[in-house]
Amino acid sequence: MVDTPKVLGNGLLSDAAIRANISGSDVSGLRIEVEGTLDSTNAALKRRAISEDIHGLALFAETQTAGRGRLGRLWVSPPKSNIYLSLGWRIGLEPADLAGLSLAVGCAIGEGLDREFGLNMQLKWPNDLYLAGKKCGGVLIDLVQSTNQDWIVIVGVGLNVAMPKLGTVEIDQPWTDLSSHSTVKVSRHEVGGRILEAVVPLLSSWQVGSFGQWRESWSQRDLMAGRQISVQQGGHAIAGRADGVDFSGALRVVTNEGLTVVQSGEASMLRGETL
């Protein structure tokens, strides 16, 4: 039996092909640009925000030389394989009003990609995308102020579509890619289109407290729910049972002392007994 490749055409990304894969009035006004090599699509949009309006600009790169993950980590970004995307959006709110936004973005992407590619994506707090227990993507949100002081969010999305053999490069945790799990063939243009279709309506309708509408859907994809976890926060760790997220997207952890709500940090799952 011939093993049919799960990734359609490993040609370069093109803005026209991505645009041909999106529909909906929300996304029609987007500017879509594809660059060959960038240090980081988030960093590139930050620089551009100094001199131009990046609202509605979706910037893709074939490869990143200094792709960034959360907590200053490197995001391994080999060429012609994956999605590295940043979208600029004038949100019309203050940073304090954005609680839960990055979780909702991950959730919207999961919903969109599951539908299209027959996946069962899970979410690890705060904004990691998982397939079959391994990380396949993540969301990194940066904020910049435009020249007239409006806040602009830069929504960065890294998604492994068809990760090549990495040679000497190492990723510090188990990882997978979309084409290893999809029930249908995957094209990066389609993946890019589905991500934009999922994220743009969310950004255009985001208001204070909007995460409340996403909480149920997020909880259904919660990788850590009920598991023993440890959350690293600055110099100390909180250990307990993961108990979902609250209406602001903060992580609920049941410790021996009672319920603790964690706004930020790095969570990992333990193999211990439940409390």
Residues that bind ligand BTN (CB under 6 A): 40-42, 64, 67-70, 73, 75, 84-86, 128, 138-140, 156-158
> CA dihedral defined by 187, 77, 179, 101, rounded to 10 degrees?
-80
Task: Please report, as a single letter, which amino acid is at residue 135.
Answer: K
Q: In the complex, what is the shortest distance from the CB of residue 229 to ligand BTN, in angstroms, rounded to a whole number?
A: 17
Rounded to the nearest whole angstrom, what is the least distance from the CB of residue 138 to ligand BTN in the complex?
A: 2
What angle in degrees, to the nearest 10, is found between the helix axes of 188-205 and 101-117? 140
List strands edge to edge, sheet with 83-90: 31-38, 57-64, 83-90, 151-159, 134-145, 128-131, 122-124
Q: Which is nearer to ligand BTN, 70 or 134 (CB)?
A: 70
Q: Give me the least distance between CB of 269 and ligand BTN, in Å please.
A: 16
Residue 87 CB, shortest distance to ligand BTN, in Å, is 10
Query: Residue 30 or residue 140: which is nearer to ligand BTN going by CB?
Result: 140
CB of 21 to ligand BTN, least distance (A): 19
CA–CA gap between residue 245 and residue 230 (Å, rounded): 15
Nearer to ligand BTN, 128 or 222 (CB): 128
171 vs 239, beta carbon nearer ligand BTN? 171
Q: 106 exposed, middle or buried (CB, 10 Å; 0-12, 13-18, 19+)? A: buried
Give the three-class secondary structure for 154.
strand
Phi and psi dihedrals of 9, rounded to 5?
Answer: 50, 120
Closer to ligand BTN by Cβ: residue 61 or 262: 61
Q: Which residue is nearest to ligand BTN (CB)?
A: 138
